Amino acid sequence: MSVMTNLQAVHDAMLEALRNDDRVLLMGEDVGPRGGVFRASQGFTEEFGEERIIDTPLAEYSIVSTAIGMTINGLRPIAEIQFADFSFPAFEQIVNEAARMRYRSNSQYFLPMVIRMPYGGGVGGGLYHSQSVEAFYSHVPGLYVMAPATPYDIFGMFRTAVKLNDPVVFLEHKKIYRAVKGEVPDEYYEIPAGKADVKREGDDLSIITFGMMLHESLKAAETLEKEGISVEVLDLRSLAPLDKEAIIETTKKTGKALIVYEDNLTLGIGAEVSATIAQEAFEYLDGPVMRVAAPDVPGVPFSPPMQNWFMPNAEKIANAARDLAAY
């Protein structure tokens, strides 16, 4: 068993994939000798050379379109988008080409590629280095979307991602790259796509969440436990496909559901989770389905006080959970 940060898990998972399969390569802005802006690929160029660790121009459209061409020719690229906010120039290639290639070719072409995106706020990055983009990509059939938030989940899900024959958007919350540590087994394991995980058992209400909000939700659950409120915390981990069975199961168990996510409130992942509960577990509800999310403003403010106002946190989650528990 090894103890590592989320960032180390990303680094080691990529390293393993590169060592195990000569078809795997990494491409992106500054991923070479510099090791990426977060140092996720530090030391890779020295081991694998510039043919497999490719520093690209500042052109996300080209990064993804080139990766698509590589997959069609038998390679399995890992394409890093330096910040998820910068993925929008490549949106056309991700959504209109990568996600649809298998469908439009009647499975004659597969696109085994992983598009890594550091995402999320709370780092003082302002509007263009703090966005949560999961709802855009989770909406698109043909894409897997993964958002693991612990070293164990990152390692297990990345192993799955690099083996899938369809494109994967792999979201890595940048604020918890170094802030979160956890154990990773030395023996090999994988976590399949579409499987959520109960990170904390409880009886009074369920918090359904993912990403950095998992850790804020766990903090809130600890606070509420001292007040006699037993909270179950379900980590979605996989956003496309969603583990609807796990969502329904935890809701049936506790009768109350609070959905927590960092993106803007309206039309986020929470809306789909809410609809799933309303359709499949309505008769088990003992209160309204509630959400804690960011306000509907265009971006995460740069000002620290305004950033704190924008970001969901353990205190806001606990307050909402108290209201729901008392309903």
Band (76; pLDDT cuts 50, 70, 90):
very high
pLDDT digits (tens, 9 = 90+) for 143-189: 999 999 999 999 999 999 999 999 999 999 999 999 999 999 999 99
CATH of the domain at 169: 3.40.50.970
CA distance 29 to 81: 7
Task: Match 């799955």 to its residue by tokens.
Answer: 160
Under a CB-based contact definition with an 8 Å cutoff, are residues 269 and 179 in contact?
Answer: no
For residue 34, the tally of other CB atoms under 10 A from its CB is 13
Residue range 46-72: mean pLDDT, rounded:
97
Give pLDDT, residue 28: 98
Whole domain around residue 30: which residue ranges? 2-184
Whether 189 is in a domain gets the answer no
Estimate the crossing angle of helix 212-225 against helix 314-325, to 10 degrees.
50
Among residues 184, 211, 243, the one where a domain terminates is 184
Under a CB-based contact definition with an 8 Å cutoff, are residues 260 and 209 in contact?
Answer: yes
Residue range 116-125: mean pLDDT, rounded:
97
The reported pTM is 0.97
Q: Are strands 197-200 and 24-28 parallel, antiparallel or unpaired?
A: unpaired
Band (276; pLDDT cuts 50, 70, 90):
very high
pLDDT digits (tens, 9 = 90+) for 39-54: 999 999 999 999 999 9
Domain co-membership, 134 together with 92: yes
CA distance 320 to 255: 15
Domain co-membership, 155 together with 59: yes
Give pLDDT, residue 304: 95
Q: Does 11 participate in catalysis according to the annotation? A: no
Please give the tally of structural domains in the chain. 2
Band (125; pLDDT cuts 50, 70, 90):
very high
Whether 192 is in a domain gets the answer no
Domain co-membership, 14 together with 141: yes
Preceding peptide of 241 cis, ω within 30°: yes
Give pLDDT, residue 64: 98
- Distance between terminal CA atoms of the chain? 43
- Catalytic: which of 129, 139, 173, 215? 129
pLDDT digits (tens, 9 = 90+) for 13-26: 999 999 999 999 99
Domain co-membership, 111 together with 22: yes
Domain co-membership, 137 together with 36: yes
Band (61; pLDDT cuts 50, 70, 90):
very high
Give pLDDT, residue 186: 95
Query: Maximum distance among all alpha carbons in the chain?
Result: 60
pLDDT digits (tens, 9 = 90+) for 196-233: 999 999 999 999 999 999 999 999 999 999 999 999 99
Whether 14 is in a domain gets the answer yes
Give pLDDT, residue 280: 97
Summarize the chain as % helix, strand, coil (round to 5): 40, 20, 40
Residue range 100-122: mean pLDDT, rounded:
96
Give pLDDT, residue 273: 98
pLDDT digits (tens, 9 = 90+) for 89-108: 999 999 999 999 999 999 99
Q: Which two tokens stand for residue 93?
A: 């290639």
Name the residue among 159, 163, 13 with its Cα closest to residue 76: 163
Domain co-membership, 235 together with 160: no
Domain co-membership, 55 together with 173: yes
**What residue type is assigned to position 252 of the chain?**
K
